[in-house]
């Protein structure tokens, strides 16, 4: 089996030039003079913090090796750091994060919880797949916020990208690659097929009113589909590395089709 470093990384330079926003920057609550901006940044932060506190679900499945247990400990530490960072950002904006956290973790409707978190985590393979595919989405979404006009969120997103998009996702891929080497390729294919469409959905729709508003205010600096495309490119390299069968339509999510 080739090492991933042997694979050619597809160039994404066509996007690289267009992502400085030139928008006004907001450093603290007192800088925010537009109530619509405030509503938009709070909406996105609410989705983000709900996802962070849903990560506790990874603990539902008992790790099968001591190494896995240690990895889970590191991950839970990272997720707590992400959650606490967002709590601070929300408090600085005058919002109590506690009701949002409780709703995300224990609420009946779990209104802001993404579909991928509603897929039952039955086995270590499921955990591996949500980590490999879903946590990579979480990390790549943070690329859109690296240039965020609300500076504390931009700073937060740099660490989130590294933790989710690289460390957590790669750990999930390692777990599944080892499972394939141990003869469980069918099971890995099954969980990849299960999670792939939900992971695509995590990026959000194309050209929705919310997305356009985030881009207008410089809260996000990349569109959902630009990030989705980069995610697809890197995930398809993983499929080849792992010898998995690719989805029949790589743009087909559970909720929508995202092809341009």
Report how far apart, in Å, the C-alpha atoms of 34 and of each of 52, 154, 207 are.
27, 19, 23
Of 107-115, 116-124, 162-170, 221-229, the window that binds Fe ion (rule: CB under 5 A) is 162-170
Q: Which of residues 117-146 bind Fe ion (CB under 5 A)?
A: 135
Which residues in 74-113 contact Fe ion (CB under 5 A)? 79, 82
Taking phi first (over 0 means left), then psi (-120 to 50 degrees means alpha), and beta for anything else, what does residue 247 get? Answer: beta
Question: Is 164 near Fe ion (CB under 5 A)?
Answer: yes
Among the listed ranges 26-34, 44-52, 63-71, 93-101, the one in contact with Fe ion (CB under 5 A) is 44-52
Segment near Fe ion (CB under 5 A); pick from 27-35, 98-106, 156-164, 216-224: 156-164
Tokens of 48: 């983000």
Structure tokens at 220: 């996000």
Stretch that binds Fe ion, among 30-38, 88-96, 160-168, 220-228 (CB under 5 A): 160-168
Whether the CB-CB separation of 72 and 59 falls below 8 Å is answered with yes
Could you give the angle at the alpha carbon of 38 between the alpha carbons of 144 and 83, nearest 5°? 60
* Cβ proximity to Fe ion, 79 vs 226, nearer residue: 79
Nearer to Fe ion, 144 or 215 (CB): 144
Give the shortest CB-58-to-Fe ion separation in angstroms: 8
Kindly state the smallest distance separating residue 61's Cβ from Fe ion, in Å: 15
Give how many residues touch Fe ion by CB under 5 A.
6
Which long-range contacts (C-beta less than 8 Å, at least 24 apart) are formed by 104-109? Answer: 104/49, 104/50, 104/51, 104/53, 104/54, 105/53, 105/54, 105/56
CA–CA gap between residue 209 and residue 259 (Å, rounded): 18
Closest to Fe ion by CB, 49 vs 219, is 49
Report the nearest approach of Fe ion to the CB of residue 48 (Å): 9
Residues that bind Fe ion (CB under 5 A): 52, 79, 82, 135, 164, 168
């Amino acid at each position: 089996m080739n090492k991933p470093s042997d694979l050619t990384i597809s160039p994404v330079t066509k996007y690289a030039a267009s992502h400085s926003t030139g928008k006004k920057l907001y450093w603290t609550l007192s800088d925010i003079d537009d109530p619509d901006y405030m509503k938009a940044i709070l909406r996105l932060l609410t989705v983000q913090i709900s996802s962070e506190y849903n990560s506790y679900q990874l603990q539902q499945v008992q790790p099968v090796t001591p190494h896995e247990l240690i990895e889970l400990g590191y991950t839970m530490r990272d997720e707590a750091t992400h959650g606490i960072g967002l709590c601070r950002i929300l408090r600085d904006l005058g919002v109590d994060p506690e009701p949002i956290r409780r709703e995300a973790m224990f609420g009946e409707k779990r209104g802001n919880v993404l579909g991928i978190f509603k897929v039952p985590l039955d086995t270590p393979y499921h955990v591996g797949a949500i980590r490999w595919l879903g946590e990579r989405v979480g990390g790549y979404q943070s690329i859109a916020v690296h240039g965020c006009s609300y500076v504390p969120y931009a700073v937060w997103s740099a660490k989130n990208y590294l933790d989710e998009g690289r460390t957590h996702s790669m750990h999930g891929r390692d777990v599944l690659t080892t499972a394939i080497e141990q003869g469980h390729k069918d099971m890995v294919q099954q969980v990849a097929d299960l999670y792939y469409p939900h992971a695509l959905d995590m990026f959000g729709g194309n050209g929705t009113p919310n997305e356009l508003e985030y881009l207008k205010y410089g809260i996000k600096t990349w569109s959902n589909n630009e990030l989705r495309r980069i995610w697809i490119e890197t995930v398809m390299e993983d499929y080849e590395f792992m010898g998995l069968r690719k989805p029949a339509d790589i743009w087909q999510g559970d909720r929508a089709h995202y092809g341009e």
